[in-house]
Structure 1
Amino acid sequence: MKKFITTLQNIWKIKELRERIGWTLLMLFIFRFGSFVVLPGVVPAALDNAGAGGSANDLLGLVNLFTGGAFQNASIMALGIMPYITASIIIQLLGFAMPYFQRLQQKEGESGRKKLQQITRLLTVAITLVQGGGYLTYINSIPGAIDPTVPKGIFWLSSTIILSAGTVFAMWLGEKITDKGIGNGASLLITIGIIAALPQALAGEIALQVSNNGFFMLILELALLFAIVMATVLVVQGVRRVPIQFAKHMVQRGATQMPAAGQRDYIPIKVNAAGVMPIIFAQALMFVPATVAQFLYTGNAAPTGIMRQLVDPFSFISSVFVFL
């Protein structure tokens, strides 16, 4: 612990690192502040009563988790940085399928990278317009969520523009964190959205365990949380060293050539090269049946047939779906 504190003190003594950390914190604060600015014409109380953020077991809850509650609040940052992430993934996949994008990625250097960034930004705006329309349709389906005094045409037009501007602004914040901050701007924006609900969740869990005299269970939960975080860090940072042996070669020593032993080195290969994106996509696919059932079966109607089997986490079909 002492070594950790000393490391933090040494980092804070370096002016450049101090400025980068301060810039990053400022950008994150602005992003979180935007998550609480509600779209004009939206009634927040109606969204809270309807549970607009979805539950923890459906796709809407996952989106709300990534946006740090901005999705449920119908804020100007409701779509978050996710359209930009989607656009980046699409551009990367096109690099394997289309020669034009492959040439930009591999052969044109810095100019190609700038072109790809510009294309990614334009694609982000297009994706935001589509997702914004779907999000506004969802908000419109909630009774009382839109102020009846606001004309629908004006609400749709202004909200679409604001949502697009919010996503573009979040994209700009991520790029500034990458350029002037500590790096990985988009990942930090997603991370800050995920951990935004952590203090409230911890406070609720502590209050629950204290009221039930579950001090041992509380300590056990905190210990498990710490162990899982440490294990995750170890897996993400872990590398496997693949040894390589260079062949022997001749070196000139004076008038004669003598054999020199080959050098031994290694190639570091990350244990988790794919990161968390496969887990995120898999979790999103797992939430699809529950989300579809939520829209198909409203009110007191219960899912039937195959949909009931998919929604039930203990059914055989649901287990097969999760396994696949």
Structure 2
Amino acid sequence: MAFSDVFEHSIIRFLPEVTIPKKRINLKKRLIWSALMLVIYFILAELPVYGITGSQTDYFAGLRAIMAGENGSILTLGIGPVVTAGIIMQLLAGSDIIKFDLSSHKGKAMFQGTQKILAIALCFFEAAIWILGGAFGRTDNTFLIVFMILQLAIGGILVLLMDEVVTKWGFGSGISLFIAANVSQRVIWEAFSFAKSPINPDEFIGAVPAFIKSFISGQPVWIRGGILPDIIQVFFTIVVFLIVVYAEGMRLEIPLSYGKFRGARGRYPIKFLYASNIPVILAAALFANVQLFARILVSRGINWLGTFNEFGGPKSGLIYYLTPPHSIEVLINEPIRAIIYLGIFIALCAMFSVLWIDLTGMGPKEVAKKLQGSGMQIPGFRRDIRILEKVLERYIPPITLMGGIFVGLLAAFADFTGALGTGTGILLTVGIVYRMYEELAKEQVSELMPGMRQFLG
């Protein structure tokens, strides 16, 4: 028996797994499942970790909006382990270090099973870094340390399983749903909260109430500075929102005809943001893990990747340049840092966008097979899959690359201007909501016209 067979039957089959529904679930039930997972997510995000002995340090502070979860809760690790496992598997499979036949059911099962094992292992690994690094204070009680690590790891595994529930029984992706919910919650809080600032009791936390108060007093404050959000950040949040909505609607349409019915024509749309917001999620998760690794080294007195200040934020080294300036003021004062961050971030987004379409069946070859199987062909050409593939190769790879560069540039711009919920978070949330709207429309069409399901996917 081959190693792959042993691995599949002795390890993968015993992993916790959400079963696939035996029959197609209607849209209403899928929405209910998604809403249920979202409610559970918010409940777990408010459930504190037992055993915290001191002040808390959020290692994902700058990326918390897109890492989801809540520091100090069971979901402290958020989507970190799941996304990190995805990054590692993409890099290993994309570089052929580990070969998977993703065209076969067995190959896909092996890939997904290996990724799940890696995600579970990372839940324990990142939990250990969090606790042993002193993020929740330090204690000599070994039992308490192990118990806190176990709590965080279980939280990460629950996120993994909830993502599976949403993917198989719900609507869309669980990871995307949790990011959108987390960012939306933060944006609403930072924009409209009437709570008083702990730093200045005379100030509202929310940017809009604070601006209205200052405007009524006759001295409108456009920029508050410090950590409190202001009306300028609200403005840039709206700008980023509008740009993303416009970009989501940009597409190139390839004319198609239906071979079996003369005169029947259609178009295959190739969206400008072909890889969606996935490249940004992967790049941000990679930065977060570099920071975690740097903290391991710093805790051992090794400063190869940089150092941290007394508040836990990056202070110097590579990790400093992998953290974006979160305000225009910092951007002006530290242009070199901004340029280095921008270059690395855009390069990663471009790379991940290309890898993503290759590993998820969105490349020219796979799309050509799908169109051929649906009976579609390009007008003026004979019905040949090689012709379809050749035409798609002229458009899909360059559009994917340009889209990856664009989302990286836009996310960095939003971060530099201090958009609420972090710029990257806003970019992701708008893209996620837009995609959910499209998927909702697709589901409605497929329920009204079941014959279209094969073509719509």
TM-score over 0.5 for the pair: yes
Separation of aligned partners in 2, 1:90 and 1:294:
23
Give 3-state SS (helix, strand or coil) of 2:100's partner.
Answer: helix
- Contact 2:257/2:264 (<8 A) preserved: yes
How much has 1:181 moved relative to structure 2? 1.1
Q: For 1:2-47, what per-residue CA distance to the aligned partner results, in whole angstroms no more than 9, with x for missing partners?
A: xxxxxxxxxxxxx932222222111111011111111111147x33
TM-score calculated relative to the size of structure 2: 0.50
**Is structure 2 residue 66 aligned with structure 1 residue 61?**
no
- Contact 1:65/1:194 (<8 A) preserved: yes
Task: Describe the shift of the 1:125–1:233 C-alpha distance in structure 2 as closer, same or farther (beyond 3 A).
Answer: same
- Contact 1:241/1:267 (<8 A) preserved: yes
**Structure 1 residues without counterparts, runs of 5 or longer:** 1-14, 55-59, 250-260
**Is structure 2 residue 196 aligned with structure 1 residue 194?**
no
Give 3-state SS (helix, strand or coil) of 1:212's partner.
Answer: helix
Separation of aligned partners in 2, 1:186 and 1:241:
29
Task: Describe the shift of the 1:173–1:93 C-alpha distance in structure 2 as closer, same or farther (beyond 3 A).
Answer: same
- Contact 2:256/2:265 (<8 A) preserved: yes
How much has 1:157 moved relative to structure 2? 1.3
How much has 1:245 moved relative to structure 2? 8.9
Matches within 5 A, 1:198-209: 198-203=187-192, 204-209=206-211
**Structure 2 residues without counterparts, runs of 5 or longer:** 1-24, 193-205, 223-229, 296-302, 344-457
How much has 1:223 moved relative to structure 2? 7.1
Separation of aligned partners in 1, 2:335 and 2:178:
38
- State the partner residue of 2:272: 271
Separation of aligned partners in 1, 2:97 and 2:342:
36
- Contact 2:51/2:144 (<8 A) preserved: yes
Task: Describe the shift of the 1:231–1:119 C-alpha distance in structure 2 as closer, same or farther (beyond 3 A).
Answer: same
Separation of aligned partners in 2, 1:123 and 1:153:
26
Separation of aligned partners in 2, 1:232 and 1:100:
36
- State the partner residue of 2:46: 36
Q: Which moved more, 1:194-203 or 1:208-217?
A: 208-217
**Is structure 2 residue 103 aligned with structure 1 residue 95?**
no
Higher-Rg structure is 1
From 237, 247, 251, the counterpart of 1:239: 251
Amino acid in the other structure paired with 2:246: L
Separation of aligned partners in 1, 2:320 and 2:92:
37
- State the partner residue of 1:8: none
Matches within 5 A, 1:105-184: 105-106=102-103, 108-109=104-105, 111-138=106-133, 140=134, 145=137, 152-184=141-173
From 7, 29, 40, the counterpart of 1:19: 29
How much has 1:123 moved relative to structure 2? 0.4
Task: Describe the shift of the 1:131–1:198 C-alpha distance in structure 2 as closer, same or farther (beyond 3 A).
Answer: same
- Contact 2:307/2:317 (<8 A) preserved: no
Q: For 1:125-154, what per-residue CA distance to the aligned partner results, in whole angstroms no more than 9, with x for missing partners?
A: 12122211211133x266xx35x6xx5211
Q: For 1:236-267, what per-residue CA distance to the aligned partner results, in whole angstroms no more than 9, with x for missing partners?
A: 34321145799xx9xxxxxxxxxxx9997644
TM-score calculated relative to the size of structure 1: 0.68
- State the partner residue of 1:57: none
Q: Which moved more, 1:189-198 or 1:309-318?
A: 309-318
How much has 1:232 moved relative to structure 2? 1.4
Q: Which moved more, 1:192-201 or 1:208-217?
A: 208-217
**Is structure 2 residue 318 aligned with structure 1 residue 318?**
no
Q: For 1:78-100, what per-residue CA distance to the aligned partner results, in whole angstroms no more than 9, with x for missing partners?
A: 11122111112222332222375
Identity %: 20
Separation of aligned partners in 1, 2:169 and 2:135:
42
Amino acid in the other structure paired with 1:233: V
Separation of aligned partners in 2, 1:210 and 1:31:
34
How much has 1:201 moved relative to structure 2? 0.8
Matches within 5 A, 1:232-311: 232-243=244-255, 266-280=267-281, 295-298=307-310
